[in-house]
Structure 1
Amino acid sequence: MIDSARTEIAQDASDGNPESGACSELVRVTPKAPDAGLELKAMHTSFALLSQLESEERTRAVRWLMDALGMGGHVPVTGHAGSNPPAAGNAPVSVVAEETPSARVFMSQKKPTSLVERIACLGYYLTFYRGTPHFKTGDLVLLNTEAAAPKFGNASRDADKADRQSGYLVSAGKGLKQLTPRGEAVVQALPDREAVKAALQEHSYRQRKARDTSSKRQAGSGTTGE
């Protein structure tokens, strides 16, 4: 395929002098037109198959396809490069962008100093770079492994602390979690500790008590008799 137009200047054949010759007409060679029919067929086929999947299944399929085609992996919902895309409301949608930080690079940029901050960063990445605003603890664990971060001692407990004690996450129902405006603000402020302090003051939170299952265990194993 020829990438650019080519201009040829014909010299006068009678004396071989280019100054006395006449310029030929501009000859423009254009690239071959793309096959619109094939492109549309690919679009319709992929849409027909992906539309039959559940949201999480569709996300995994698209993620794999983009990786397989070398299209830059996962991308922020706004299409802007960088680690702090603006908020995208309740339903983030993945779009193609030129540059997207990997999970490892993103976590290195943010430099969380506590487990709850790391949980918030992972939730942020899932929300804005994976199009997954509602996620399970297992999703956080998988992304944490992908980012080459230290393993969680008890991921469920840490996610619960990020929810009840820090206010970075909140329940989305059916065992799912989602990032709160407070958690989003903290992640966007990182790694600037002064900015984090300001974000926490702006998005105040009243700590809730952690779930206590000891009474339930005692009730279930209680003894009877005189």
Structure 2
Amino acid sequence: MSDKDTRGADTAPEHMTAGEEADGSDPVRDSAGGTAARADLLAMHAALTALEPLDRKGRTRVLVWLADALEVEAAPRAVGRAEQAVPAARTSSAVTAVIAAEEEVPSPREFVSRKRPASNVERVACLAYYLGRYRSTPHFRTPDIVDLNTESAGPKFGNPSRDVDNADRGSGFLVTAGKGTKQLSTRGEALVEALPDREAVKAALREHPYRPRKRGPGNKKPQGNGGESGE
């Protein structure tokens, strides 16, 4: 056999890649499910290339967002204490939860001091906001507000039930959540996020108007610090 024939028998054409047979077949493409496996590998490589420059928190945010967008179950392999309460992402609220878990969490005292509420109903709204955002307690009862107010070193409520009711019926900062609980309303959330900027508060309350609900003959009109401030 000539040298030319020997070279033709022992070597594959130069355009063939590793894993291809001399007859031109590709085992990855020819096997059952091979094309899908190849696509998976290409996607993994592209994802790894895109995520590699990010830090751990950035990778977590991207993976959670992708899992939500693609409606698949996925969770980070290693999670910190603040992230352990975040379930596998399937809804957009999970993305918000991850971001909230990673941000610096102020103490109740720091948060309320920063917001500088000017009335009891504003203070109730701030405490309700804190419970929902930082304590995973969007639905709460009056004792929860009282306990958090004590933790924040706030002035003692003279009549907590009245103040919470004023924040609900009188100001529209809270709404009934069922089973004796309440939750922060959209109006209340806008108020807290606008604080302490009084001009921003006025704009937020105009954007989310509220007409106090009528009370029955036996219910007295709220007194004290029950009115809205900033309007």
* Residue 104 (str. 1) matches residue 128 (str. 2): no
Identity over aligned pairs, percent: 61
Question: RMSD of the alignment, in Å?
Answer: 2.9
Question: Among 162, 171, 175, which residue is 2:167 paired with?
Answer: 162
Question: Among 199, 204, 212, which residue is 1:207 paired with?
Answer: 212
Contact 1:123 1:140 in 2 (8 A): yes
TM-superposed deviation, 1:190: 0.2
* Residue 125 (str. 1) matches residue 130 (str. 2): yes
Q: Distance in 2 between matches of 1:198 and 1:89?
A: 26
**Higher helix fraction: Structure 1 or Structure 2?**
2
5 Å matches for 1:7-156?
93=97, 96-97=101-102, 99-156=104-161
Q: What CA deviation, in whole Å up to 9, does each residue of 1:93-143 have, x standing for no partner?
A: 576325210000000000000000000000000011111110000000000
2:200 is matched with which residue?
Answer: 195
Contact 1:109 1:191 in 2 (8 A): yes
Q: Which runs of 5+ in 2 are unaligned?
A: 1-79, 87-91, 221-231
TM-score with structure 1 setting the length: 0.53
Q: Which runs of 5+ in 1 are unaligned?
A: 1-68, 78-87, 216-226
Contact 1:93 1:131 in 2 (8 A): no
Q: What CA deviation, in whole Å up to 9, does each residue of 1:22-61 have, x standing for no partner?
A: xxxxxxxxxxxxxxxxxxxxxxxxxxxxxxxxxxxxxxxx
Structure 1 letter corresponding to 2:199: E
Structure 1 letter corresponding to 2:130: Y
Question: Among 161, 167, 179, which residue is 2:184 paired with?
Answer: 179
TM-score with structure 2 setting the length: 0.52
> Who wins on radius of gyration, i.e. which is larger?
2
Paired residues, number: 132
